[in-house]
């Protein structure tokens, strides 16, 4: 749940204090870059077709 007023308006990535904020993952909407990439790499479900074969 996003509680930070800056994260509500523009998001944590556009906040000037994102590098120093200790609570960006708790009260903000910040996700670690490796979490975002792993979510993009997950298959979309049983209908996902592997086109590499």
Please report, for residues 10, 11, 15, 17, 31, the alpha-carbon distance to residue 37 in angstroms, rounded to integers and kept in the order given.
Answer: 21, 18, 21, 23, 10
Q: What percent of the chain has pLDDT over 70?
A: 64
Q: E-strand spans in 1-53?
A: none
Number of domains within the chain: 1
C-alpha to C-alpha distance for 6 and 53, rounded to whole angstroms? 46
Residue 46 lies in a domain: no
Residue 48 lies in a domain: no
Residue 52 lies in a domain: no
Residue 21 domain boundaries: 5-41
Residue 53 lies in a domain: no
Provide the pLDDT confidence category of residue 5 given band limits of 50, 70 and 90.
very high
Q: What percent of the chain has pLDDT over 90?
A: 23
Q: What DSSP designation does 28 have? A: S
């Amino acid at each position: 749940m996003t509680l930070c007023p800056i994260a509500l308006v523009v998001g944590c990535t556009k906040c000037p204090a994102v590098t120093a904020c200790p609570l960006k993952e708790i009260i903000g909407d910040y996700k670690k870059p490796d979490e975002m990439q792993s979510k993009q790499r997950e298959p979309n479900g049983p209908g996902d077709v592997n086109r590499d074969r």
